[in-house]
Amino acid sequence: MRENLPLTTERVDDVPLWLTQLERIGLQALLDAHFPTHGNWVGLSLGWVSVLWLPHILSKADHRLTHVKPWAEQRLHTLRECTGQPVQR
C-alpha cells in the first residue's frame, strides 16, 4: 500500500545566499557582542533578528518589520535549515 505523504513547497529565492554572506562576515555575533538584549527580551537575540530581517529587506526592498512575519512564515524550512535557529510561527 502506498502512503500519500504531504508535500509542501517553499520559494527560496536569494535567501540562502544572503544568509550565507551574513554568516561569513559574522554579523550575528558582532551585533550580539555589542548590543546586549534587554532583560525582558524573549526569543531570538537581536543579532539573529537582524540577520533574519536583512534578507527580507534586500530581497523585497521593504524595510517594514510588519511585513517580515508573513514573509518568514512562507520560508520557515529554509530559514531553519540555513541558520540552525528555532524559527517558529
Please give the model's pTM, rounded to 2 decimal places: 0.76
For 9-18, what is each residue's pLDDT tens digit? 887 788 899 9
Instruction: State the sign of the Cα–Cα–Cα–Cα dihedral 36, 41, 42, 46.
Output: negative
* Average pLDDT rounded to a whole number, residues 59-82: 87
For 30-48, what is each residue's pLDDT tens digit? 999 999 888 888 888 899 8
Reported as a pLDDT band with limits 50, 70 and 90, residue 8 is confident
The residue with greater pLDDT, 36 or 24, is 24
